[in-house]
Chains A and B, each alone.
Chain A
Amino acid sequence: NAGVTQTPKFRILKIGQSMTLQCTQDMNHNYMYWYRQDPGMGLKLIYYSVGAGITDKGEVPNGYNVSRSTTEDFPLRLELAAPSQTSVYFCASSYDGTYSYNEQFFGPGTRLTVL
């Protein structure tokens, strides 16, 4: 199993540009998550999904959109990039998320810089 994969690894955007961060997992996990990690900080939840077709906001959803059309994929969309979105983005998945002991498996991260 490849686990959780993310593309691209690095990206530089200009202010106002848009892009999609890709995330795929091959563990048949129901739950998927997007986090951002700002320098010197912990991770903050952007959006999560409990299954195909179902998404919900996390702690910091503004400026982002997500979709979940399949169990495997959970792309994160930035419509109008702003310098405040410069961060490292992590995708994660778990078998079950609600009230759960289950481990979240993380991807390797995407480092995004908005200039």
Chain B
Amino acid sequence: AQTVTQSQPEMSVQEAETVTLSCTYDTSENNYYLFWYKQPPSRQMILVIRQEAYKQQNATENRFSVNFQKAAKSFSLKISDSQLGDTAMYFCAFITNNNDMRFGAGTRLTVKP
């Protein structure tokens, strides 16, 4: 079965601090793509960062970076210098060659001033 587990339903962080959101997944496929999506109160789904499973180098996008551990099937998201606008639900997801994107249940992140 292809599943995504986000073990932290809620997290909070002080503005300007760093926070890490956890994600583990399970798949029998060897090649796949991993994503973190952000969903603010507006409900719009916004891509934050993506990672190709065959690449060992961790992806980075400005203040966002991932720690991808393929053997452990772990894909955590680190947000540096947290900003108030980072407050949102964050979803970890992956897609394999069957076109079926699987999402985790999400982590609600609150950035406190």
Question: Do B91 and A42 have beta carbons less than 8 Å apart?
Answer: yes
Which chain B residues border A31 with CB–CB below 8 Å? 99
Binds B, one of A14-22, A44-52, A63-71, A77-85: A44-52
Q: Is the CB of B103 within 8 A of A42?
A: yes
The listed residue with most B CB atoms (<10 A of its CB), out of A43, A88, A90, is: A43
A98 to B31, CA, bound (A): 11
- Are A103 and B50 in contact, CB atoms less than 8 angstroms apart? yes
Q: Are B105 and A97 in contact (CB under 8 A)?
A: no
**Contact B101–A104 (Cβ < 8 Å):** yes
Closest Cβ neighbor of A111 among chain B residues: B43
A2 to B12, CA, bound (A): 34
Q: Which A residues fall within an 8 A CB radius of B? A: 31, 33, 40-45, 48, 50, 56, 58-59, 88, 90, 92, 97-101, 103-104, 106, 108-109
